[in-house]
Amino acid sequence: MEISAAYILESAMRDTASPFEFDGPVPLDCMINRRAEADTIRAWTHESQLMALVAPRRYGKTSLIRKIASEGEKVGLMVVTADLFEVASLSDLVLRLERAWAQHTPEELRPAAGKILSSAQAGVSISGAGFALTMADKPTTDPEPALHALLELPAQLAQHRPGRILIVLDEFQSVAGVPEAQALIWKHAWQQRQSVSYLFAGGGPGMLSTAPDDRERPVGQMRTLQLDRLPAAELREVIKDRFAARNRDVSDVVDGLVAASERHPQRTMLLAHLLWHEVPAGERATTDDLEAAITAALRQVDAEARATMSGLTVGQRKVLRAVAEYGTPMAARALRALGLPKTTAQKAAPHLVATGLIEDTDQGWRVIDPLLARWIRTNYGTRA
């Protein structure tokens, strides 16, 4: 049988292409763990719960949401996801929600959704471009009627279909910068909870800090799921299996890789991807290969790390360095070596926690991004 050049090239590419996804949401068939988290959110959804999904950046919130949406289609759960990252105003919020409905409304419900929105006469449409055209025609348009129309749409649309609707508001912490937006969204979510579920996803437990907490709409009744780092045993097995499937052996260094990544979901995949390019087919990875991968990772995050540091105040930079180098912002040696007043550390640490740069765990303080921590120790280390 004659083998084509195209087949040979395709086979070679399959053998050399990294099996580790690290840039953007993970394909559903490549997700590691998270089954329990998906099951929990689905159970809470059908219990009419309002939910918060909390995790630092790059922990897989978006991938988990996509998994829930994909599997929900098979059991009659309709999921509408709006990306609210850096939402700037009520008008911007309207545009994000309108776009979400345009992208996620099933074909059989589009006529009903279109009719509901057009009857509201608020300038929004199921096409996802209505409010932008309205503002272009009348720049002084008040966005609040359009926002109410979009927030009322889930409950109205629920009357046209069996099963529940799940509204996912991703990067919800950004809404805190838009006056009155959180309280308005929370009010609609609470009123609709018998037919519509809401999942507020974001980077910190303070996502609903400005929502009204009263007897009628108690924020404390929200169920919160905190995404953790991935389990070490499963990470080791997945990494070894993916290397072995392409005739590569990482048995000698997989423990070191997982330790270096500190089980951080995206950083583990990045290091595995970079290690992949250090190990030819048929070879066994060495500690030198792992060190080369870590060095490559530090080069890759250099610009991001510098931008992170430059975006902080002097006191915040010193606290971040103290955690990276000494494991706590309050160590006497850190305060002395970095010229960090204790009062500055006490003030700066909560800000770094809120922005997802450091965390205080049962095992102590740590920088959430292990590569940022290593980059700090490599470039600034004051600790011998």
Gap between the Cα atoms of 33 and 131, Å rounded: 40
Give residue-wise pLDDT tens across range 331-369. Answer: 888 899 999 999 999 999 999 998 899 999 888 999 999
Instruction: Concatenate the DSSP letters of all residues of 84-151 into one string.
Output: -TT--SHHHHHHHHHHHHHHHS-GGGHHHHHHHHHHHTSS--TTS-HHHHHHHH-TT--SHHHHHHHH
For residue range 137-188, what is the model confidence (pLDDT) as tens digits? Answer: 888 889 999 999 999 999 999 998 888 899 999 999 999 889 989 989 999 9
Q: What is the CA radius of gyration of the chain?
A: 24
For 29-106, where are the E strands, in sequence order?
50-54, 78-83
Work out the average pLDDT over 20-26.
83
Q: How far is CA 29 from CA 40, 64, 67, 155, 193, in A?
A: 19, 12, 9, 33, 32
Q: How confident is the model at residue 11 (pLDDT cuts 50, 70, 90)?
A: very low
Flag whether pLDDT at 239 surpasses 90: yes
* pLDDT of the residue at 212: 64
Q: Each residue of 65-108: pLDDT tens digit?
A: 999 998 887 888 899 999 999 999 999 999 999 999 999 999 99
Pairing of strands 165-170, 196-202: parallel
Residue 24 binned pLDDT confidence (cut-offs 50, 70, 90): confident
Q: 215: which 2 tokens?
A: 């007897």
Per-residue pLDDT reduced to its tens digit, 102-116: 999 999 999 999 999
Residue 65: which residues within 8 A CB-CB, separation 6 or more?
53, 79, 81, 168, 170, 199, 201
